[in-house]
A and B are shown apart, each in its own frame.
Chain A
Amino acid sequence: MAKKAADIFDLPGEAIGGLPSLEISGLGRIRIENHKGLLTYSEELVEVSGGKAVIKISGSSLDIRAMTADLLIISGEIFKIEFIY
């Protein structure tokens, strides 16, 4: 519903329905807003719930730098980001 509304009004999904927002900077830092919780954490794999999808981040030396109810910052050597619906 939120995704549809965002598509109709051509607005960012996170602004309307609390959809997750991903921001990658410098290839080694991912900032995830509006996440729904951490599912898995290890130095090689971090899985974050994004509501309807799971954001799967693979890499090495992954580290959770900060985590609040809305924001998650992961740093490390990132190899792959997948969205699993």
Chain B
Amino acid sequence: MQKGFSIITGIVRIRITGRKPERALNRLTEEDIKFGKLKKLSENTIELTINGMKYPAAEALCRSAGFEVTLISKSGIPFFLRRFKKRYVLFFAPIICVAAAFYLSFFIWELEVSGNETISKGEILAALEEAGVGIGTFGMGIDQEITRSLVLSDINKLSWLTVNVSGCRARVIVRERIDRPEIIDEGLPSEVRSGKTGIIEKMNVYMGKALVEAGDTVVLGQTIITGALDSRSSGTRHVHAMGDVYARTWYEISASMPLEYTAKRYTGKNIEKKSLIIGNIRLNLYFNAGISMVNYDKITTTQRMKIGGFLLPVSVEKSVYREYEEIPCMTDAAYAEAALKKRLLARLNEIIADGELRMTRYEVTKENGIFTLTLSAECLEQIGVVSPLQIPTS
């Protein structure tokens, strides 16, 4: 304990020379200056250790009594710190660092987004940026209500959002909107019409009366199941017609692709430019901002700096400009056919949705360097569409 205290206050070892140095010890004790490790070196010389803070007083006291005082050594924190007395940079740098760290801790340096399922993190971050919340934003200045209303109005699919600021990290929690299921008003008179032209293969009538039967051809908009039911006792009764109508449908769709195209060939000439991004401030680590190349691709990578697991508000952005030249190329017919086939099938699947693809046939034509693929397909799909029933007013 005493040793620890001595390290904090500092200790000095002094040599006192003079006639009868015991007198000096008496003077020191009178002034309540404690000493230790007393050693008599000769008749007129002693060495002792005293508290560093009492050294000026002890020196003055001994000198006034006619003794010569020599400082042998000094140790402890005050003497260690005194070494840096004139090294201002060393002294102020830690203070500036601590002050800067304290000041910067009020800003947002990391944004975490959670709770999103279909909406991308980038979309949410972009909306937040628009609302004034991003990397480098003053954390205490974030208004939850304003941010929420701005982001929710920007992204309609979101139903709720909150921004929790913890130090220099902001946790954004979102909830996505759940679409309300379509409610069928079974009290509304309606009929089932044909959504496409085709030949009916089968029908399931749940309500109403079928006007056609399997094997009949229907055209777009034709009534298949009517909601107007005739009754001998009570006249015409209007119901909400429902039913599934499966029909064979035919499609013919085409896609084209030029066989000749322009391809990129990289020349191997690259220009690399680096920038240091501190918060929202960008420092370009290059002088010439111009690019002398005519055709080039720009590939930008950003690396966020971190110490251990702690992300710093400093990023290094590297942009690589790769020069290329354009060369004419010819597409292989097999490749073109495969690519167009894939594209056509994807488009057809979009059209028939849950329908079944029964038969396909492709036809290839080449004209003026254009490769065209035509898909003829037969499908089985549900073509019934419920529409409000037009009731004639009498």
Contacts and interface: CB of A to CB of B under 8 A. Distances in A.
B29 A42 contact: no
Contact of B32 (A43, A63, A68): A68
Contacts of A66: 34, 36
A31 to B, nearest CB: 15
Contact of B34 (A38, A39, A41, A68): A68
Contact of A43 (B21, B22, B40): B40
Contacts of B30: 69
A64 B38 contact: yes
B35 interface: yes
Contacts of A39: 22
Mostly helix, strand, loop or mixed at chain A's interface? strand
A63 B38 contact: yes
B46 interface: yes
Interface string B1-28: 0000000000000000000011001100
Interface in A12-55: 37-43
B40 A38 contact: no
A22 to B, nearest CB: 18
A41 B26 contact: no
B32 A41 contact: no
Contacts of B36: 65-66
A38 B26 CA distance: 6
A41 B29 contact: no
Contacts of A81: none
Which secondary structure dominates where chain B touches chain A?
mixed
Contacts of B34: 66-68
B289 to A, nearest CB: 76
Nearest to B38: A64
Counting chain A CB atoms within 10 Å of each CB, the highest count among B25, B29, B34, B46 belongs to B29
A41 B38 CA distance: 10
Given A67-B29, A68-B29, A69-B30, A41 B35 contact: no
> Which of A38, A42, A66 gathers the greatest number of chain B CB atoms within 10 Å?
A38
A17 B32 CA distance: 22
Interface in B248-285: none
Contacts of A41: 21-22, 25, 38, 40, 46
Nearest to A47: B22
Contact of A40 (B22, B32, B35, B38): B22
B40 A67 contact: no
Contacts of A43: 40
A41 B46 CA distance: 9
Best-buried of A37, A64, A68, A69 by chain B (most CB within 10 Å): A64
B308 to A, nearest CB: 50
B274 to A, nearest CB: 67
A67 B24 CA distance: 12
B38 A69 contact: no
Contacts of B26: 37-38
Nearest to B46: A41
Contact of B22 (A38, A65, A68): A38
Nearest to A37: B26
B51 to A, nearest CB: 14
Interface of A: 37-43, 63-69
Given A41-B25, A43-B40, A66-B34, 17 more contacts: A37-B26, A38-B25, A38-B26, A39-B22, A41-B21, A41-B38, A41-B40, A41-B46, A42-B40, A64-B25, A64-B38, A66-B36, A67-B25, A67-B35, A68-B34, A69-B30, A69-B32
24 contacts: A37-B26, A38-B22, A38-B25, A38-B26, A39-B22, A40-B22, A41-B22, A41-B25, A41-B40, A41-B46, A42-B40, A43-B40, A64-B25, A64-B38, A66-B34, A66-B36, A67-B25, A67-B29, A67-B34, A68-B29, A68-B32, A68-B34, A69-B29, A69-B32
